[in-house]
């Protein structure tokens, strides 16, 4: 142990007691050289302290009666063990030929918090950022970001307030890559750690301050400057995509949090963390010609180069998500089990790599939230009031099993984790159901998507999710809700043309094709529907079967078709009787006839496969609504999932949304601000003829000399028996054609 301490001290002190010469390397623009072009003498650097100790002799100078320091080795030159730039791995050559080389898009979100003050508190702010960055060298990068923040205020008694804090700003950051500095430049390395330092400016303001005491302690708007420092932990998931976690601290000029300071407290202090998705416009992999020091450390198959990446097609598919299922709300006037409703969702997204994905789309919910049990004059009839949610969501997806250079997108099962943000409009009907509040909301979502492959590029998924919802306008106090949903849905992956399966259709007979290329189809089924409501009576049950549908159409080719659809819809509502002591059922009936354009969505995004049993369709068009409420024009849009039992016979599930005029129903129980909306779900059977017009014409063509057509006509007298009159008196005539 004493020897190790001695060696460390010698190495540390030797630069201060000895003279050294330095040999500078030539500089080449845009290129970092792995090895020096000339070396004055052979390098005698040793690997570690064990080798260093081995070089030190066992004998040392005899004890000196004057020198009382540690013993000193004989003939040891510590200068030979200084680790200067020549003795570090520089890694691959860093080549920067164009503007897009080493340039990336950076976007994501996070959380920021400020130190509390004595008068009120902020909730943690949600951050959003988007920007561009550029790697200038293996170690140095610059980044420009636009940032935004959103949060709420809690007053001194910690009561929630409708006052909101909003910010918008810009930051310029410098990043230094510690990993590349210490271990050398290797662009496909999984994990890198960088230091971050930057400057920025920010505009902040408070909204919805009417009647709030917050303005007594804070200004309503201000401009501020700040410096932030942090670390970036970046994980590479493909040559294009990475994600990063950045904890940071922020020092800002006064009033960034809009609170006045004192002469002893002249700076604002913030802290938080961001999650970023990073997308490089050009793949971050080296060419074999630029391979540097690492050729000594890695086998050929352990590295990835541009040559291999270019030959192997790496899929980064876009995708479409659809899901529907029950939703439950917490923090309402009802228990969570009694606040049941439904949620429907549709998203469009993109997998940046097998690990990272992003999606955005529509989220709709309609659910019970309160009853009239606490209304003094509610009488014997119990009612439930509903809330409606309609918003745009942005989710980040993470596949923990995607860290694979040869990831198989057609795996049988998988799991995705998701987290996101949502903004939209919310309508809440009061307990007396004579008034409602319509306001904005924000939501923070997390969930899991468990999926199973039905066929290549088509997945069945179950998605349990949790959402924290803040409704922040229209109430004297801010309202918070929690939504728990379990959704069942489908995911369809886009497949570009180079990676689509190829088939010789001339060699595959029509009778062997499970997926129809062109021809007639017809189908029918039964199902259930629901109308978007505002309130309802608690009495009365809704039947399971409430509608039936019949449709027929023609597929022009593997993608496009037309269809004629007829659907009968019934939806009972319960109304008071004349004595206001009980309810009775009132049936809302409609017959809708629709002429729709139909698209085979799976064929369009993944290519035609004649052996595919599963197919998905979307359709939409005008409708004619007929019923007791009269005749009106309407619109419809929907989708259908089919599974072919045989080449001609298929099972189907369909979801159709009808939009009818606002005044289709006179009851106040139906939501009708933007129209009357009905969701119709059906299951049934569909038959595919699998023949075109010309093929059917040939099938009906025959040799009329062998099978002649004929026309017959006849007329004559007729008599009837078993009549009150005689047979002769019952004489008449008959005519036939």
Determine contact, residues 594/565, Cβ cutoff 8 Å.
Answer: yes
316-494 matches 500-709 in fold: yes
State the SS3 of 383-433.
EEEEEEEEEEEEEEEECCCCCCCCCCCCCCEEEEEEEEEEEEEEEEECCCC
Are the CB atoms for 229 and 213 separated by under 8 Å?
no
Question: Measured between alpha carbons, how far apart are the two ends of the chain, in Å?
Answer: 119
pTM above 0.75, yes or no: yes
Domain 316-494: which topology?
A: Porin (2.40.160)
- Would you say the C-alpha torsion 78, 82, 86, 90 has a positive or negative sign? positive
Query: What is the structure's pLDDT at 470?
Result: 87
Name the residue with tokens 């129980």. 669
d(CA 421, CA 443): 6
- Is residue 378 classed exposed, middle or buried when 0-12, 13-18 and 19+ CB atoms within 10 A define those classes? middle
Q: Locate 97 and state its tokens.
A: 């030929």
Q: What is the pLDDT of residue 306?
A: 75
Per CATH, the architecture of 500-709 is what? Beta Barrel (2.40)
In a 3-state reduction of DSSP, which class is residue 673? coil
Residues in Cβ contact with 367 at an 8 Å cutoff, skipping those fewer than 6 apart? 327, 328, 329, 339, 340, 341, 342, 386, 387
What are residue 238's phi and psi, to 5 degrees? -165, 170
Q: Looking up tokens 């979307």, which residue turns up?
A: 618
Residue for token digits 């569909």?
A: 686
Listed in sequence order, the residues at least 6 apart from 353 whose beta carbon sits closer than 8 Å to its beta carbon are 237, 238, 240, 241, 316, 402
Q: Given the DSSP bridges, would you call strands 560-576 and 583-600 parallel, antiparallel or unpaired? A: antiparallel
- The domain ranges of the chain are 103-295, 316-494, 500-709
CATH number of 103-295: 2.40.160.20
> What 8-state DSSP symbol labels residue 516?
-
Interacting residues of 210 by C-beta distance below 8 A, sequence separation 6+:
none
The β-bridge relationship of strands 140-154 and 121-122 is antiparallel
Of 92, 82, 87, 77, nearest in space to 25 by CA? 87
**pLDDT for res 256:** 84
> How far is residue 387's CA from residue 334's CA, in Å, rounded to a whole number?
12
d(CA 249, CA 706): 94
Strand residue runs (E) in 603-645: 614-627, 630-644
pLDDT at 134: 97
- Strand 125-135, strand 121-122: pairing: unpaired
- Give the distance, in angstroms, between the CA of residue 240 and the centroid of all CA atoms in the same chain: 19
243 neighbors 197 (Cβ within 8 angstroms): no
Predicted confidence at residue 48, as pLDDT, reads 45
Instruction: Give the angle subtended at the CA of 673 by the CAs of 597 and 438, to the nearest 5°.
Output: 125
Please, what are the averages of pLDDT over each run of 10 residues along the chain (737 residues)? 47 45 40 43 45 49 51 56 57 87 94 83 88 95 95 68 86 96 87 97 85 76 93 93 95 83 69 95 85 64 73 83 95 88 95 94 93 71 89 95 88 95 91 82 94 96 95 67 95 88 74 81 95 86 90 94 96 79 84 97 92 94 92 96 93 96 89 92 92 60 68 88 81 87
What are the φ/ψ torsions at residue 703 (nearest 5 degrees)? -90, 105
Beta strands in 556-582 (DSSP E): 560-576
């Amino acid at each position: 142990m004493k020897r190790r301490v001695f060696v460390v001290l010698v190495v540390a002190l030797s630069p201060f007691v000895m003279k050294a010469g330095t040999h500078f390397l030539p500089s080449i623009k845009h290129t970092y050289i792995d090895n020096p072009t000339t070396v004055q003498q052979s390098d005698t650097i040793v690997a570690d302290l064990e080798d260093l100790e081995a070089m030190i002799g066992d004998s040392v100078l005899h004890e000196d009666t004057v020198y009382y320091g540690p013993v000193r080795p004989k003939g040891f030159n510590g200068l030979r063990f200084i680790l200067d730039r020549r003795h570090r791995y520089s890694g691959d050559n860093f080549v920067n030929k164009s503007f897009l080389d080493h340039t990336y898009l950076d976007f994501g979100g996070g959380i920021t918090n400020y130190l509390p003050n004595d008068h009120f508190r902020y909730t943690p702010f949600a951050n959003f950022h988007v920007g561009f960055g550029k790697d200038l060298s293996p170690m140095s990068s610059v980044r420009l970001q636009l940032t935004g923040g959103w949060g709420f205020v809690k007053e001194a008694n910690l009561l929630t307030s409708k006052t909101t804090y909003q910010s918008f700003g810009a930051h310029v950051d410098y990043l230094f890559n510690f990993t590349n500095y210490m271990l050398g430049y290797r662009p496909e390395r999984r994990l890198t750690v960088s230091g971050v330092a930057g400057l920025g400016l920010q505009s902040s303001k408070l909204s919805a301050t009417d009647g709030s005491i917050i303005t007594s302690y804070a200004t309503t708007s201000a401009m501020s400057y700040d410096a932030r420092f942090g670390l970036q932990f970046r994980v590479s998931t493909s040559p294009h995509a990475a994600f990063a976690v950045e904890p940071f601290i922020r020092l800002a000029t006064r009033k960034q949090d809009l609170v006045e300071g004192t002469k002893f407290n002249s700076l604002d202090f913030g802290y938080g963390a961001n999650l970023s998705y990073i997308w490089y416009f050009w793949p971050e992999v080296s060419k074999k010609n630029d391979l540097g020091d690492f050729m000594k450390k890695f086998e050929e198959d352990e590295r990835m180069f541009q040559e291999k990446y270019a030959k192997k097609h790496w899929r980064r598919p876009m995708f479409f998500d659809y899901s529907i299922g029950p939703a439950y709300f917490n923090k309402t006037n009802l228990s969570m089990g009694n606040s049941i409703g439904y949620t429907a969702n549709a998203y469009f997204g993109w997998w940046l790599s097998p690990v990272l994905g992003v999606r955005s789309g529509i989220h709709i919910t309609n659910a019970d939230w309160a009853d009239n049990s606490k209304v003094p004059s509610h009488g014997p009839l119990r009612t439930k009031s509903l809330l409606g949610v309609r918003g745009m969501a942005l989710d980040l997806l993470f596949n923990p099993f995607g860290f694979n250079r040869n990831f198989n997108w057609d795996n049988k099962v998988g799991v995705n984790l998701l987290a996101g943000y949502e903004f939209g409009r919310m309508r809440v009907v009061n307990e007396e159901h004579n008034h409602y509040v319509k306001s904005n909301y924000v939501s923070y979502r997390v969930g899991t998507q468990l999926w199973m492959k039905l066929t290549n590029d088509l997945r069945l998924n179950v998605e349990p999710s949790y959402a924290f919802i803040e409704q922040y306008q229209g109430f004297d106090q801010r309202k918070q809700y929690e939504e728990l949903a379990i959704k069942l849905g489908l995911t369809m992956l886009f497949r570009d043309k180079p990676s689509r399966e190829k088939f010789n259709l001339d060699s595959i007979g029509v009778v062997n094709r499970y997926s129809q290329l062109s021809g007639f189809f017809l189908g029918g089924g039964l199902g259930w529907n629901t109308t978007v409501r505002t309130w309802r009576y608690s009495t009365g049950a809704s039947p399971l079967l409430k509608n039936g549908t019949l449709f027929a159409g023609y597929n022009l080719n593997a993608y496009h078709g037309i269809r004629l659809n007829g659907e009968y819809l019934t939806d009972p509502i319960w109304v008071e009787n004349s004595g206001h002591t009980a309810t009775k059922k009132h049936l809302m009936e409609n017959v809708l006839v629709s002429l729709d354009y139909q698209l085979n969505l799976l064929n369009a995004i993944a290519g035609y496969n004649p052996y595919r049993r599963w197919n998905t369709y979307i359709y939409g068009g005008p409708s004619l609504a007929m019923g007791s409420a009269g005749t009106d024009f309407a619109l419809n849009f929907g989708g259908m999932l089919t599974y072919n039992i045989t080449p001609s016979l298929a099972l189907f599930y369909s979801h159709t949304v009808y939009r009818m005029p606002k005044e289709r129903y006179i009851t106040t129980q139906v939501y009708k601000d933007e129209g009357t909306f009905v969701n119709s779900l059906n299951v049934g059977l569909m038959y595919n003829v699998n023949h075109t017009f010309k093929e059917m014409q040939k099938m009906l063509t025959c040799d009329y000399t062998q099978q002649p057509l004929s026309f017959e006509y006849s007329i004559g007298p007729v008599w009837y028996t078993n009549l009150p009159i005689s047979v002769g008196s019952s004489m008449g005539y008959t005519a036939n054609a």
